[in-house]
Amino acid sequence: LVATASVLGPPFHLVVVGDGPDRSWLEDKMKQIGRQASDYTLVGKMADPSLYFGAADMFLFTSVVEPFGLVLLEAAASGLPVFAFDCEGGGRDLLHKVKATIACEDEAGWLVEQMNSRPNQLNTVEITKMVRLEFSWESAARKTIELYQELLEIAEQRNIDAPSVGKRAGSF
C-alpha cells in the first residue's frame, strides 16, 4: 500500500477502508513519503463498506496473504476493476477469477501505470455478472445441497449407513 501510494499521483485519491493496529504506522509512513492528508482518506472500520465500493472507480488490493478474499468478491460484484499485488492463499485464485491486474510486490510503479490506463468496462460488466451469479447465497445453497446429495449417493454405493439427518437432507 505504501509503495503504491508513493507513486500514485493525481487524479487518484486513495481511500483506505478498515482499521487495525498498524493505523498510526500507516499515517506516519504516508507523511514520510510526502503524502498530504488531502491525498488520502483513512476511513476506519465500516460495518457496511458498500457505499465506498459504489463511489470508487477501481479497487486496489494490497494484501500479500489472503485466506479467502471476500473483499475481492465485494469489489468485483460492485463493478470495480481490481488491481492487486500477488498474494498467497485462496485470494490468489479469486484474483485470477475476477481477472485482476496483478503485479509482483516490487512492481508498484507498473501497477499504477495499469491503473492509469483505465480498464475495459465491458470486461468489468461481465465479471460483475459472473461474481453475482457464482458467489450468490442461492448458488452457495445449491452447491451445498448438491454436495450433500453426492455424498449420500456415495454412502449408499458403499453401503454406509447415513445418519437420519442426512437422509432427510437427501430428499430435496
Residue of 83, 82, 91, 76 whose CA lies nearest to 128: 76
What is the C-alpha to C-alpha distance for residues 119 and 23, in angstroms, rounded to an integer?
A: 30
* Dihedral sign (CA 100, 46, 18, 34): positive
pTM: 0.76
Q: Residue 29's pLDDT is what?
A: 92
10 cis-preceded (ω within 30 degrees of 0): no
Q: Residue 42's pLDDT is what?
A: 93
Does residue 80 contact residue 53 with C-beta atoms inside 8 Å? yes
What is the C-alpha to C-alpha distance for residues 16 and 35, in angstroms, rounded to an integer?
A: 14
The DSSP annotation for 47-91 comes to: S-THHHHHH-S-EEE--SB-SS-HHHHHHHHTT--EEEE--BSHH
Degrees, nearest 5: CA angle 69-169-90: 15
- How confident is the chain (172 residues) per 10-residue block, as mean pLDDT? 86 89 92 89 90 91 88 91 91 91 92 83 83 89 93 85 54 48
- If you search the block for the grid coordinates 481477472, which residue do you land on? 99
Q: Residue 163's pLDDT is what?
A: 61
Q: Residue 172's pLDDT is what?
A: 47
Strand partners of residue 15? 41
What is the C-alpha to C-alpha distance for residues 110 and 103, in angstroms, rounded to an integer?
A: 7
